[in-house]
Amino acid sequence: MKQVSGIELLDLFPRQTSGVMLEPTGPCWPRTEPEFLMTRYVLTVNGSRHDVDADPEMPLLWVLRDRLSLLGTKYGCGVGVCGACTVHENGIAVRACQTAMIDTRGNAYVTIEGLSPNGTHPCQQAWIEEDVAQCGYCQPGMIMEAAALIRATPNPTEADIDRVFRDHVCRCGTYTRLRRAVRRAAGIVR
C-alpha cells in the first residue's frame, strides 16, 4: 500500500524491472493534493451542456463515465491503443482516454449513447444485422469509429476500413463481421 495525502492506494499492478520494484507512474484520480485545484469546464456531450469540475489533466473518459454516468464509453487500455474509449469530438473519432479535460474547451462530444436516441443509427443497425458483437466490450468504440469513417468517407474501401480499425482491439476477433457491418452501414447511409 502507498499513502498519498492520507489516502491509502492499493497498487494492483506494480512494475518490476530486474527484480527491483518500481513505483507506478502517472496520476491517480481523484487527486487531493492542494496543488491540483479543480477547474470548471463546460462540456457539450450528446447535445447537452454539462458544468463539470475536474483536474485539467483528467482524461475525458473519466468525466464521461464517473461524472456524467455515460457508461457506454469503455476503459480498455488507458494509453489510446485499443479504441474501446472512442468518442466523436466535433464529428471526428478520438480516444477519450487520451483527451485531457484542458483540451476539451470549445469542443462538442458524442458518445455511443448520443449516436442515436433509440439505437437506430445505420452503424448500430448493421452491427445487429451482421451479429458483430461477441462479448461486446469493444463494440461501442468500434461503432463510433465506423460512424466517423462513413461520415467522412461515405463509400469506404477495404483499405479505408482496415486503416481506421488497425488500432482497435477486439479480443473476440470479430474483424470479419465488423468489415461486413461497415459496408452494410455505408449502404444504408447511401
Q: 122-189: which CATH architecture?
A: Orthogonal Bundle (1.10)
**pLDDT exceeds cutoff 70 at 26:** no
Domains 39-114 and 122-189 share a fold: no
Q: Say which CATH architecture domain 39-114 belongs to.
A: Roll (3.10)
Burial of 180 (0-12, 13-18, 19+ CB in 10 A): middle
Q: What is the pLDDT of residue 146?
A: 97
Contact between 49 and 43 (Cβ < 8 Å): yes
Q: Would the pLDDT of 12 be above 90?
A: no
CA dist 88 → 17, 31, 56, 84, 154 (Å): 38, 27, 20, 13, 17
Q: Is the dihedral of CA 127, 128, 131, 137 positive or negative?
A: positive
Highest mean pLDDT among 5-14, 65-74, 164-173: 65-74
* pTM of the predicted protein model: 0.80
Q: What is the pLDDT of residues 80-139, one digit of tens each?
A: 999 999 999 999 999 999 999 999 999 999 999 999 989 999 999 999 999 999 998 999
Q: What is the pLDDT of residue 188?
A: 80
36-90: per-residue pLDDT in tens?
578 999 999 999 999 999 999 999 999 999 999 999 999 999 999 999 999 999 9
Domain ranges (residues) in the chain: 39-114, 122-189
Question: pLDDT class for 19, splitting at 50, 70, 90?
Answer: very low
pLDDT reading at 184 higher than 70:
yes
Torsion angle of C-alpha atoms 22, 24, 25, 30, degrees rounded to 10: -160
